[in-house]
Structures are given as C-alpha cells and as structure tokens.
Amino acid sequence: MRDFLAEMDALINNEKKAIEVSQSEFLDFQKVWVNYEHRKEIVGEAQRNGAVIYRKSESGTV
C-alpha cells in the first residue's frame, strides 16, 4: 500500500508536483486525506479513466 501521508507531505513541501491516485486506490487515499492537516491546500482534478491528480493549490488554500 502506498504511503499517501508521505506523498502529501512531499506535495506540500514542494518536493513533488502531483500525486496520481487511481480509482482502485481512491478509498485508501481518502481515509488519509480526510484527516490531513493541510488538506485544504490540496486540490484534485478528475481524469477520464477514474483517476484523480492532486496538486498543491496555487493560492495556498481552496
């Protein structure tokens, strides 16, 4: 299982530009994201294949 907490930390710290979460991983990601302190700074963009690409918000908050 992926370490979504570490991936989100890397995203917030500008060590990573995006996180791609497949449809099959979404529920696991959601469980971590819902309790993440900086979740309002991360925005998701749905893709046609059911995946979601998460990026740090340009404005810092959504």
Please answer whether residues 4 and 32 qualify as being in contact, where contact means their C-beta atoms are separated by less than 8 angstroms: yes
In a domain, 62, yes or no: no
Per-residue model confidence (pLDDT) at position 59: 73
Q: Write the CA distances from 11 to 26, 38, 48, integer angstroms.
A: 17, 10, 23
Per-residue model confidence (pLDDT) at position 46: 96
In a domain, 46, yes or no: yes
Residue-level length of the chain: 62
pTM score, two decimals? 0.88
Number of domains observed in the structure of the chain: 1
In a domain, 61, yes or no: no
- Domain holding 24, by residue range, is 4-56
Rounded Cα distance between 53 and 62, Å, is: 16
| Alpha-helix runs per DSSP H in 1-62 | 4-12, 26-33
Please answer whether residues 48 and 21 qualify as being in contact, where contact means their C-beta atoms are separated by less than 8 angstroms: no
* Per-residue pLDDT of the chain in tens (62 residues, 90 and over written 9): 899 999 999 999 999 999 999 999 999 999 999 999 999 999 999 999 999 999 999 875 55
In a domain, 21, yes or no: yes
